[in-house]
Structure 1
């Protein structure tokens, strides 16, 4: 199998949650590989800094402020992308949040926010990307950044809602793979499920004593490697699920 990113050079990608962590690493990597990358996040200053950092690369990063919990913002991102760059070829649904509210004493608004961002926003992104891909006959690729918590229940307190949303991501990605097969579509779907990764979310977990400072971790660049690998496989190869753990992880 020959691995190559050549067919994606000059093509359009949208990456959500691109202002830090995994999303930032993926957006930077795709720009380095020659793609036109729309980086979406609420923190515009962080996106502007990333655009400056990647200036002079083979591709280009376009910073766009947006809150994926708002449908209007998602629609605005896709419309701007279509009008200014063309239809999307690659979508990376990376934006996500944890949830500190447990079932027994949690706040409904916290649960709804987590479900809205981790599940509903992901679905809206897939819907809009598929519209472009179908209308323009694009054999695109959609990535859903998942978690090992999307495959089994971790023995951590107060992450019931988060775990449920990540199980939903697993089910949705598999469902869409089968839908595309029924429709004889060549749009590929990949769920990437990292273990503990050195991001802002892990810092919150440390503050809550859910994990230790000495726990083995992955780095955002490791997840960007996985995205690049899946994209670089030939069109007839669908890498549907990648689970990544840090060496020494006993979870």
Structure 2
């Protein structure tokens, strides 16, 4: 079975659908109860077991409750997809401290907490796969990146740090990340707080769709146990940076 965070829309929902099609039972979480319930009902039509729980990833107690529910229901975990993430256009010179804190809490700290709890669930079997949905912003700094790009550089570092910890522990748990470029989701509208700027972002050339990232996730998870794909960089063909 697999956990997908931020699964109520966009890339997370596409990943959940792709894994359901592959036969995974799923535990999904997100903040928006209505969207999460709708996603869960859609997934159950694929004849899999689905646990859906509202979780604010800024609250460790809610994360721990979610993982406890997974343990109680299945007693194991095969894959964790750390998909949840967010960004705001908040420059370092003038940005809001509250916005910076929210980005750090969700993109970095929650990812670390989920990863720790996933490893705990995977250790009895000695196998499993943790996959971070990162960003090309973790490989280069785009214009007006604010703190968002810094969090994705942190995810890149955390991926390699965990790989080394797992190897030092002689664990067969694998760690991967996928770093997409521009993907048409709700992200740009939230980032810019503007529907017009989001439309401009997604109409400049054919951009990635959420299903493209979901297919990359399925590819990574389908590899034999001795293959560990550490990062996939995936851009629209016409994206220059």
What TM-score do the two structures reach when normalised by structure 1? 0.90
Gap runs ≥5 in structure 1: 1-11
What's 2:215 paired with? 225
- Give the number of equivalent residue pairs: 237
For the structure 1 residues 72 and 164, does the alpha-carbon distance in structure 2 shift closer, same or farther, using more than 3 Å as the test? same
| Contact 2:58–2:110 (Cα < 8 Å) also in 1 | yes
Question: What SS does the aligned partner of 1:38 have?
Answer: strand
| Contact 2:86–2:103 (Cα < 8 Å) also in 1 | yes
What's 2:225 paired with? 235
Alignment of 1:37-48 (within 5 A): 37-48=26-37
Question: What SS does the aligned partner of 2:120 have?
Answer: helix
Q: Distance in 1 between matches of 2:111 and 2:98?
A: 19
For the structure 1 residues 28 and 138, does the alpha-carbon distance in structure 2 shift closer, same or farther, using more than 3 Å as the test? farther
Q: Distance in 2 between matches of 1:33 and 1:161?
A: 36
Alignment of 1:238-249 (within 5 A): 238-249=228-239
Deviation at 1:215, TM superposition (A): 3.6
The worse-fitting range, judged by mean Cα deviation, of 56-65 and 81-90 is 56-65
Question: What SS does the aligned partner of 1:199 have?
Answer: coil
Deviation at 1:58, TM superposition (A): 4.6
RMSD between superposed Cα atoms in Å: 1.5
Gap runs ≥5 in structure 2: none
| Contact 1:51–1:60 (Cα < 8 Å) also in 2 | no
Question: What SS does the aligned partner of 1:14 have?
Answer: strand
What's 1:9 paired with? none
Q: Distance in 2 between matches of 1:110 and 1:69?
A: 12
